[in-house]
Amino acid sequence: MNRFGIIAKPSEEKAVSLVEELSAWLKEKGKEVYLDRETATVMRREEGILRSRLPEISDVIVSIGGDGTLLSAARVVGESGIPILAVNMGSLGFITAITLEELYPVFERIVRGDYEYDERMMLVCHVHRMGERVANYTVLNDVVINKGALAKIIDIEAWVDEFYLTTFKADGLIISTPTGSTAYSLSAGGPIVYPNLECILVTPICPHTLTNRPIVLPPSATVRAKLKSRETDVLLTLDGQVGFGLNEEDVIEVRRSEKPLKLIRSPFKDYFSILRTKLKWGER
């Protein structure tokens, strides 16, 4: 790998200083470094690149921040197939498993071509309104239909392929990947799913009918959810970061992305050690 695109959390002072150090280190190794425009602006540089262009000119994208920064980078990478190296600036993240202490040992391996990556399934989401597609998104974690703070319980008619599933009366509905199983879905009572598996999770949020439970679907399934409520305060949220206002009769169609996200693996820890650390398993 010779071309490194860097996306950092510009509000994190430590992240900006780390970008400076890492850029200098990579250039000493003869590598090309491209900064996204937001990071370059904070660093008072003029050579910033639009995030959407980084996958075109990079062999790898380096995400520096936390899980949120990685989710933003994943949407930029989309279905391009460019791998991501995710570095966590604070405590260990579920998906940003590489810590600051591991940073340069990991980069030494990457420069030598000695690395492995996991393939994480992503979801493509289309919003249809009055028969027309009005929005398109690609997400790593989840697609969430959620009512506003003052809205009543909403009705969401759900279909799997050509089969009617049910009409959820709930605060909302989460459609997630295995990677997203440890995010909002877990808080709503969904299962933990090993992230390398391929499946789609459908988890109702605070359902009115307590027998409405989460369901795990095959990766080939297409999930369609139609909003059947007249509430005006209903939002579609993508990876917890991007919002889109929904109207009655809008149809949200979710399916597996054709290409998975390539996430470079930490050689120093495994997924189960991350679970034990984050969820404090084994502690009393």
Q: Which of 36, 22, 33 is nearest to 103 (CA)?
A: 22
Catalytic residues: 67
As a whole number of angstroms, the distance between CA 216 and CA 17 comes to 42
Q: How far is CA 147 from each of CA 37, 44, 128, 156, 239, rounded to the nearest angstrom?
A: 34, 40, 19, 11, 16
**Helices 103-112 and 13-28, interaxial angle, to 10°?**
30
Q: Which of 14, 100, 113 is nearest to 60 (CA)?
A: 113
Q: Which two tokens stand for residue 164?
A: 């009617």
